[in-house]
Amino acid sequence: MGQSILATDPSASAPRDRVMAIRQADIETALAVPAVFEHETVAVLEFLSVEPIALTDRLSRALYGIGHEIGHFLASRRGELVGTALTPRAVEVLQLAARGCSAEAIAGQLGVSTATIKRHFERAYMRLGVSNRAAAVAEAMRRGLIS
């Protein structure tokens, strides 16, 4: 089935505040479920229960499916989840480029020079690890930075 689902003592090696909260809530069991996308774990989901959990095959399959769906969801929104390497203005420039605006049109709309827009593009290329405008727009879309 792929990634394993782990049932553990929820207070094991947890920070002190968390252990206290777990004990106060009478939490009995924790399940750690990997959120997977294309064989990569993008997050780990934790489910806490006040009763012991019997990890049956049926429950494992259901949790595996949930982990897969959430992994797919999170992978398509990585740019929203991780601090972006782009400034808000660079994101705005790429959003306008995605709509088909030329550098001159973007400059006019934002009230800056075309040289400034070109610098925004160049920095975006470097930060996104791409070499041209189309690739920058595509990568920003893939990361969920623009739509």
Task: Kindly report the CATH number assigned to the domain that includes residue 110.
Answer: 1.10.10.10
CATH number at residue 70: 3.30.450.40
Distance between CA atoms of residues 85 and 126, nearest Å: 10
- For residue 46, the enclosing domain spans 6-76
Distance between CA atoms of residues 10 and 6, nearest Å: 11
Residues 62 and 100 in one domain: no
Residues 32 and 87 in one domain: no
Residues 67 and 89 in one domain: no
Residues 14 and 72 in one domain: yes
- Single out the residue in 76, 111, 132 at which a domain terminates: 76
- Single out the residue in 26, 41, 76 at which a domain terminates: 76
pTM summary value:
0.47
Residues 63 and 101 in one domain: no
Which tokens sit at 53?
């959990």
73-104: per-residue pLDDT in tens? 888 776 666 555 788 999 999 999 999 999 99
- Single out the residue in 76, 93, 111 at which a domain terminates: 76
| Interval 33-46 mean pLDDT | 87
Distance between CA atoms of residues 140 and 127, nearest Å: 10
Tally of domains in the chain = 2
Domain presence at residue 1: no
Domain presence at residue 22: yes
Residue 6 backbone phi and psi in degrees, to 5: -110, 125
CA distances from 77 to 66, 68, 103, 109 (A): 17, 14, 27, 28
105-141: per-residue pLDDT in tens? 999 999 999 999 999 999 999 888 889 999 999 989 9
56-70: per-residue pLDDT in tens? 999 999 999 999 999
